Chain A
Amino acid sequence: MAVEEILRPRPTIGRQVHGVLHRMPALSPLVILVVACVVFTVANPRFVRPENLSILLQQAAVVGSLAVGQTLVILTAGIDLSVGAIMVMATLVMGKLATSGTPSALAFGIGFVLAVFAALVNGLLVTRIKLPPFIVTLGTLSIFTAITLIYAHGQTMSLPSGTFLTWTGATISFGRFELTIGVIMMLLLYAGFAYALRQTAWGRHLYATGDDPEAARLAGVRTGRVLLSAYVVAGAVFGIAAWILVGRINGADPNAGLNANLESITAVVIGGTSLFGGRGAVVGSLIGALIVQVFENGLALMRIDPNYQVLAVGVLVIAAVAADQWIRRVKT
């Protein structure tokens, strides 16, 4: 960049937009979400019916929850390709234990602990052995998937509704609008982590470590521990996501999370969190997950070939990263 370019004052509108986006990275995906909802409502008024909006949230609950954990990892400039595999592994363990007579709550507990343990393995490989997160989770993706298939022989499990394990599928009605416990849990996860990341020392340390680990270390942040904690806490979130999935399908299906790994990353990226670490907001990931679901549902209502949904998501990912680069360009 030439010197005179740096010295030239920017147009004020551009600078204002830039400044606002810099402070609130979740704003641009929010605009996209609102516009998409308006367009789909005009195309087919059924889109905005309370029944359909309830369904949208239920469809987004699993990937939305995974995206919370994925956000934590991506904020540390890492990436977790094994999130779906961890979740499905936990669901099958929960399902198989519950169908073979283990009390529902204990089955959940064991599956949950397993998810945390799996994430701990990822975290230790990244922080102690110093392997790149992409490589570690690429490997564990295969490992966890294989363990799941060996354990379950590819079988689906069905669980009765009304047990502790399937409680996440129970609904609360507000007239024609229905929320499942799973959706409420997902929203609580977002609220909790939005607070923790903004208001606690742990959250600040996570951002600092992701932005510039060396500077954070010099400032007294124990970066290794912070990194490890991000993976482990994410594992706990994946355990909750597994519970939400079991409630959504009243059972477990080894083929359930095949695309969840990339879907969670997609939600985080569209939501404005930077893959370079240290920038982004967890709430953006919720908006990202909703955008993907809104496109799928809206296009289905318009009877448009679902391949266009895949196309739209691809374009959104590129646009989100391009916007992120633009916002990063000048630190206001």
Chain B
Amino acid sequence: MDKSRNLPRRTAFAMAAALAGSLILTACGSGASDTVGVSLILKTLSNPYFVSMQSDAQKAATAQKVNLTVAAGKTDGDTQTQITAIDNAISRGDQGILITTNGDAVNTELQKARKAGIFVIALDTVPTPPSTVDVTYATDNEQAGKLIGQYAATKLNGAKAVIAMLDLFNNQVVSVDTSRDHGFLEGMGIDPGNKTQNGQEAKAGRYTGGKGGDYTIACHQPTTGAIPGGKTAMENCLSANGDINVVYTINEPAADGALQALKAANKKNVLVLTIDGSCKYVNGLVKSGDIAADSAQYPGKMASVGVQAIAALARGGKKPALPAGRNFIDTGTALVTANPLPGVTSQTPADAAKACWGS
């Protein structure tokens, strides 16, 4: 007989005691306090973009004497963990929720939170419909896409564009994915062909941005917003069409991977465009010109402004108001490039580095 199958009684007792102890501790930890409680619910913590939201929110919370609780999805698109975090915020009696949603699946829960009297602010992306939340602080992802699209069209100077589109997903629709993709196409002067889906534009035709010219779309590939995904996607695009000269990428890690694939294939003079504006890439691949243009965003600003708004509201202040004709409060975006073009407003990497995020 194998004796080790039966846990020794002492071990079992110790385990039970530990379990009971931890339960008592959690029960004691939830004491009420008169400070303002805010829940920050992020997409993931595996992306410095959201990590910088966390650190700036923390700073703002300390300054405003706010109790901040942070939660995050395990992966991009993980709505279940976010729903649980919203429930926890309701149970805790928080006054506000700041959320970068992983998808529309959290909407019902957010409505529940608002019914419970919690002020809900979306960060980074406007939920569908926008009325799901009280207010949104976001970057205009479509505008960010437009800026790099316009840059690319101007830079082409009438030449034929063979375009690779390196998106985020192909198996779920996420607004940041479609807004950036469509914004880029609009900036190039190409009709996206559909409001809510990627890859519905005409596969060949004329682009009207810059001097205008012919274009073909070589591919739409998912990258999951990570370096390996970007590299694999670019490799597959190059296998399908070796003449690619314009590469749109959903974010900087995807651009990083794409550049590595281009380098391995000895492709030069390819315009790689992206959106993010992190210190690492602004001071790196953007500064060196490998990334032709990058639309910078300011995630930390969204989070800290959100914390301040809830703190003000909880202490008797006014609700933040939306600007006329917009469904979110824009925290800004700016085109960063090492090679400025006449007629295109842009910042140098050195200027952008003053307001970049991450370390």
Contacts and interface: CB of A to CB of B under 8 A. Distances in A.
B236 interface: yes
Interface in A41-86: 44, 46-47, 49, 51-52, 55, 58-59, 62
Interface in B39-95: 44-48, 50-51, 74-76
B227 A251 contact: yes
A297 B231 contact: no
B46 A297 contact: no
Interface string B207-251: 000000000000101101111100110011101100000000000
Contacts of B46: 149, 154, 254-255
B176 to A, nearest CB: 15
B226 A59 contact: no
Chain A's interface size range is 35 or more
Contacts of B240: 44, 46, 300-301, 303
Nearest to A49: B239
B195 to A, nearest CB: 19
B170 A305 contact: yes
Nearest to B49: A154
Given A255-B46, A300-B236, A249 B257 contact: yes
Contacts of A130: 2, 4-5
A300 B225 contact: no
A256 B280 contact: no
B284 interface: yes
Nearest to A44: B240
A306 B253 contact: no
Contacts of A279: none
A101 B224 CA distance: 30
A13 B229 CA distance: 45
Contacts of B358: 155
B108 interface: no
B239 A256 contact: no
B221 A156 contact: no
B284 A255 contact: no
Contact of A310 (B75, B171, B236): B171
Interface in B270-310: 280, 284
B142 interface: no
Contacts of A254: 46
A128 B228 contact: no
Interface in B241-267: 253, 256-257, 260, 264-265
B228 A306 contact: no
A249 B265 contact: no
**Which of B2, B76, B260 counts the most chain A CB atoms within 10 A?**
B260
A8 interface: no
Interface in A95-113: none
B2 to A, nearest CB: 8
A250 B264 CA distance: 12
Contacts of A249: 227-228, 231, 256-257, 260
Contacts of A297: 236, 239
**Which of A255, A301, A307 counts the most chain B CB atoms within 10 A?**
A255
A215 B313 CA distance: 71
Given A154-B44, A171-B264, A253 B253 contact: yes
Contacts of B45: 149, 154
Contacts of B236: 55, 296-297, 300-301
Contacts of B50: 154
Interface in B1-60: 2, 4-5, 44-48, 50-51
Chain B's interface size range is 35 or more
A58 B48 CA distance: 28
B256 A158 contact: yes
Contacts of B253: 156, 253, 255
Nearest to A253: B227
B51 A153 contact: yes
Contacts of B237: 300
B264 A155 contact: no
A59 B238 CA distance: 14
A128 B3 CA distance: 11
B322 to A, nearest CB: 31
Given A255-B253, A305-B170, A156 B239 contact: no
B239 A253 contact: no
Interface in A145-165: 145, 149, 153-156, 158
**Which of A46, A47, A156, A306 counts the most chain B CB atoms within 10 A?**
A156
B247 to A, nearest CB: 15
B48 A51 contact: no
Contacts of A258: 75, 224, 226
A256 B257 CA distance: 11
A245 interface: yes
B359 interface: yes
Given A55-B239, A297-B236, A156 B227 contact: yes
Interface in A270-313: 296-297, 300-301, 303, 305-307, 310
A18 interface: no
Contacts of B359: 153, 155
Contacts of A51: 239, 265
Interface of B: 2, 4-5, 44-48, 50-51, 74-76, 170-171, 219, 221-222, 224-228, 231-232, 235-237, 239-240, 253, 256-257, 260, 264-265, 280, 284, 358-359
18 contacts: A46-B239, A52-B239, A62-B228, A154-B45, A154-B51, A245-B228, A248-B231, A249-B257, A251-B256, A255-B76, A255-B225, A256-B228, A258-B226, A296-B232, A297-B239, A300-B236, A303-B240, A307-B170
Given A59-B235, A145-B74, 6 more contacts: A52-B239, A153-B51, A156-B48, A158-B280, A249-B260, A253-B227
8 closest residue pairs by CB, A with B: A255-B226, A300-B236, A253-B227, A52-B239, A249-B227, A254-B46, A154-B51, A55-B235
